[in-house]
Amino acid sequence: MKFTPNGCQDFLARAVFLTGMTDFGNELLYFYPEVTISEKIDHDLCLKTMPMACQDGDMLITRIGDLNAVTVTRLIPCFEKNNYKKETFATLGILIPMDINPIPYYKMIANLLTKFSENGNLNKETLIDSIPKLYKTLNQKLL
């Protein structure tokens, strides 16, 4: 983790988010920390974080504003009511500074999603519940 000269910590994870494929396309389902984000960032997260021809387990690193989004796409049970689809795609992602190596973040997200899948907990609710914990874990202050 980086520390500025005045002792303030420069967090490595700026945000953790979840996007999901709905009948209207890819939508931002959850963003943490719960702050107001610009319409442009919302649009870019929806548009850029899930490739059109994605497959289960795909990794993507893309620029969102002045940050990198590191994402993993997984097939999860459909979360929309009255939907004929049994499963849909969702992407769990982290926004990090561009000068940080994204590969360890990808591996961490992929491992987390694999554990959820192995335990039968890979669904929208579990992912949303894990996002604040993931953000806080990534940004713990070093003693």
Note the pLDDT of residue 10.
Answer: 53
Query: Given CA atoms 7, 97, 47, 107 in this order, what sign does their dihedral have?
Result: negative
Tokens of 112: 């987390």
Does residue 47 lie in a domain region? Answer: yes
pLDDT tens for 1-43 read 333 333 334 557 889 999 998 888 889 999 999 887 888 888 8
Backbone phi, psi, residue 114, to 5°: -65, -45
Instruction: State the Cα–Cα distance between residues 14 and 97, nearest whole angstrom.
Output: 8
Does residue 3 lie in a domain region? Answer: no
Q: The domain spanning residue 96 has which CATH number?
A: 3.30.450
Instruction: State the Cα–Cα distance between residues 36 and 20, nearest whole angstrom.
Output: 19
**How many structural domains are present in the chain?**
1
Whole-angstrom CA distances from 75 to 10, 15, 106 are 33, 22, 17
pLDDT tens for 54-100 read 888 899 999 998 999 999 999 898 887 766 778 888 999 999 999 99
Is residue 26 within 8 Å of residue 93, measured between CB atoms?
Answer: no
Does residue 110 lie in a domain region? Answer: yes
Least confidently predicted of 39-48, 86-95, 110-119: 39-48
pTM (two decimals): 0.83
